[in-house]
A and B are shown apart, each in its own frame.
Chain A
Amino acid sequence: MGLDDSPGASTSYNDEVINGVVEALRLAVTNLPPDVESALRKALEAEENPAARAQLEAILRNVEIARRTGRPICQDTGLIHYYVEAGVESPILPSLRGILLEATRRATKTIPLRPNTVDPIRHVNPGDNTGRGVPIIHWELVEGDRVRIHVVPKGGGSEAVSVLKLPPPGRGLEALPGIVVDAVLDAGAKPCPPTIVGVGIGGGADTALYIAKKAASLRKLGSKNPDPFLAGLEEELVNAINSLGIGVMGLGGKTTVLGVHIDYAYRHPANYPVGIVFQCWATRRALVEISPGGSIRITQ
């Protein structure tokens, strides 16, 4: 066994993965995903309200500047979320948690990201976007030897208007429209509309919010819900919400939401959890795929 097989060598392999995750974070915070940008352009084309038009134009100019200069789209680079689909046979699995922590620290320094993690009890900010429970890592074990990591830096303004409701199960799905519309009205201009509204139905209370956030932040705009009933309901909700006229930044006009994304899980007979999570227009996401040989692919 030569020196190359020493832990040092495996560290350098990890280093490539760490850098891959850093680059994915960089892409996420500096480059708006194409599906979101094209939805914003469509909103601008359709808009007649001059104030809303001016805001959409500023948003698109901002997106362009961020892409060109490598600056973050929005100064709130969020809490870092990782959604990991971890192939059980992937050789990097044992070190993946450490890789994600180190990538978070490096990205904070080099991109840079705003140091956003604060101890809720002692009010201390470690300055590197880590701490107890953060970055937020959701693990899902899958077959095979590949690892896919969705990186989602999610801002605080859209998170602040999240809603969890547990209506009487007897009302069932009929309670949903009121909950969703009220959440949008209460959020008002706070989550920087236009937004994507994630709706999670069922599961435990935590499941409802978890799937709502995934639906809001990970699912691409323009993708159709595989369940035809829900696909129709999503469309009705989009039209209904946009008819309220809240508009871009609360200034009125045609577009308040770019999409409503619904997901569900089976529930307990006594509970009907409904979770609502907003994703602001500044949707930050990217995907890192790591093959067993160590090759890395980053997409949006």
Chain B
Amino acid sequence: MATYHLRTPLSEEDVRRLRVGDIVYVTGIIVTARDSAHRRLLEIVESGGKPPIELRGGVIYHCGPVVEKTPTGWRVIAAGPTTSARMEIYEAEVIEKLGVRMIIGKGGMGEKTTRACREYGAVYTIFTGGAGALAANAIKEVVGVEWLDLGIPEALWIFRVEEFGPLLVAIDSYGRNIISENMARAREKRDQVVGRLVEIIKSKHNLRELGK
């Protein structure tokens, strides 16, 4: 479990050094995108257009922030991660076509993303789910916002961050995916755990025991 401090844009070398379980702090630019923004990014690429911000070597953050309008722009109030599973259908293509090097989210991602990370040199990291105030502390500036027509949570927010983390590498560029590996181990215990509970309920004796 090594700790890294990285600056954006990230190179392939930067992310190839990272292994699952490592901790990363990122300084530079990160861009939020949720379901609708992912869909729109891919539509743009398909029609031969350019996204509103360069994402080559970039960092995409699964996040719908709480923001406040100020006289000069925007202020971020809370900005923790959202569940990444919803972006699984888009992410492999986003990594491939847009050259994104790091995805930040929570809850884990699937096989397609894991394959894309290995093939194109990218990582999926998690920021502690629910830690919206901690995240906002590391966001120093709202550099811009695009696609506000999607609504505030779904828009593309461009943040300048300092030491954004701790980010834990959950999928590295070597095919490891610690959350799905861990969930597979948990599933193996399912029948035994359920069987034991059913026995406890079935047994009249234990019913009384439980009643004590």
B60 contacts chain A at the CB level, 8 A cutoff: no
Assess whether B80 is in contact with A75, with CB atoms less than 8 Å apart: yes
Least distance between B114 CB and chain A CB atoms (Å) = 15
Assess whether B211 is in contact with A181, with CB atoms less than 8 Å apart: no
- Most A-side CB within 10 Å, residue of B137, B178, B193, B211: B193
Assess whether B133 is in contact with A66, with CB atoms less than 8 Å apart: yes
A73 to B134, CA, bound (A): 8
Interface string of B188-206 (1 = CB under 8 A from A): 0110011011101110000
A251 contacts chain B at the CB level, 8 A cutoff: yes
A115 to B152, CA, bound (A): 8
B79 contacts chain A at the CB level, 8 A cutoff: yes
A173 to B194, CA, bound (A): 12
Q: A58-B128, A59-B130, A74-B130 are in contact. Are A251 and B106 (CB under 8 A)?
A: no
Contacts of B64 in A (CB 8 A): 75-76, 114
Interface string of B127-138 (1 = CB under 8 A from A): 011111111110
Assess whether A249 is in contact with B106, with CB atoms less than 8 Å apart: yes
B206: nearest chain-A partner, CB-CB: A232
Q: A54-B23, A112-B77, A190-B83 are in contact. Are A177 and B198 (CB under 8 A)?
A: yes
Contacts of A281 in B (CB 8 A): 130
Q: Which of A45-87 contact B (CB under 8 A)?
A: 50-51, 54-55, 58-59, 61-62, 65-66, 69, 71-77
A75 to B125, CA, bound (A): 19
B193: nearest chain-A partner, CB-CB: A240
Assess whether B130 is in contact with A192, with CB atoms less than 8 Å apart: yes
A113 contacts chain B at the CB level, 8 A cutoff: yes
Assess whether B179 is in contact with A250, with CB atoms less than 8 Å apart: yes
A252 to B151, CA, bound (A): 35
A292 contacts chain B at the CB level, 8 A cutoff: no
Contacts of B136 in A (CB 8 A): 71, 75
Assess whether A51 is in contact with B21, with CB atoms less than 8 Å apart: yes
B189: nearest chain-A partner, CB-CB: A244
Assess whether B197 is in contact with A237, with CB atoms less than 8 Å apart: yes
Least distance between B88 CB and chain A CB atoms (Å) = 12
B98 contacts chain A at the CB level, 8 A cutoff: no
Contacts of B202 in A (CB 8 A): 174
Contacts of A62 in B (CB 8 A): 80, 128, 130-134
Assess whether A182 is in contact with B190, with CB atoms less than 8 Å apart: yes
Contacts of A157 in B (CB 8 A): 82-83, 106-107, 129
Q: A54-B166, A59-B130, A188-B179 are in contact. Are A181 and B190 (CB under 8 A)?
A: yes
A77 to B152, CA, bound (A): 13
Assess whether A236 is in contact with B200, with CB atoms less than 8 Å apart: yes
B65 contacts chain A at the CB level, 8 A cutoff: yes
A160 to B129, CA, bound (A): 15
Interface string of B34-70 (1 = CB under 8 A from A): 0000000000000000000000000000011110100
A243 contacts chain B at the CB level, 8 A cutoff: yes
- Most B-side CB within 10 Å, residue of A51, A232, A246, A247: A51
Partner of A232, one of B68, B189, B196, B209: B209
Assess whether A116 is in contact with B183, with CB atoms less than 8 Å apart: no
Assess whether B132 is in contact with A160, with CB atoms less than 8 Å apart: no
B197: nearest chain-A partner, CB-CB: A177
A59 to B107, CA, bound (A): 15
Assess whether B128 is in contact with A65, with CB atoms less than 8 Å apart: no
Contacts of A76 in B (CB 8 A): 64, 80, 82, 130, 132
Contacts of B145 in A (CB 8 A): none
List, sorted by A's number, 14 A–B pairs whose CB atoms are closer than 8 Å. A50-B1, A51-B21, A66-B132, A71-B78, A76-B80, A114-B152, A157-B107, A177-B197, A177-B198, A189-B107, A229-B211, A233-B201, A244-B190, A245-B185
Interface, chain B (partner A; CB < 8 A) = 1, 21, 23, 63-66, 68, 77-80, 82-83, 85, 106-108, 126, 128-137, 151-153, 166, 168, 170, 178-179, 182-183, 185-187, 189-190, 193-194, 196-198, 200-202, 207, 209-212
Interface, chain A (partner B; CB < 8 A) = 50-51, 54-55, 58-59, 61-62, 65-66, 69, 71-77, 112-116, 118, 125, 155, 157, 160, 173-174, 176-178, 181-182, 185, 188-190, 192, 228-229, 231-233, 236-237, 240-241, 243-247, 249-252, 280-282
Across the A-B interface, the 7 shortest Cβ-Cβ residue pairs: A232-B210, A192-B129, A177-B197, A75-B132, A62-B131, A75-B78, A62-B134
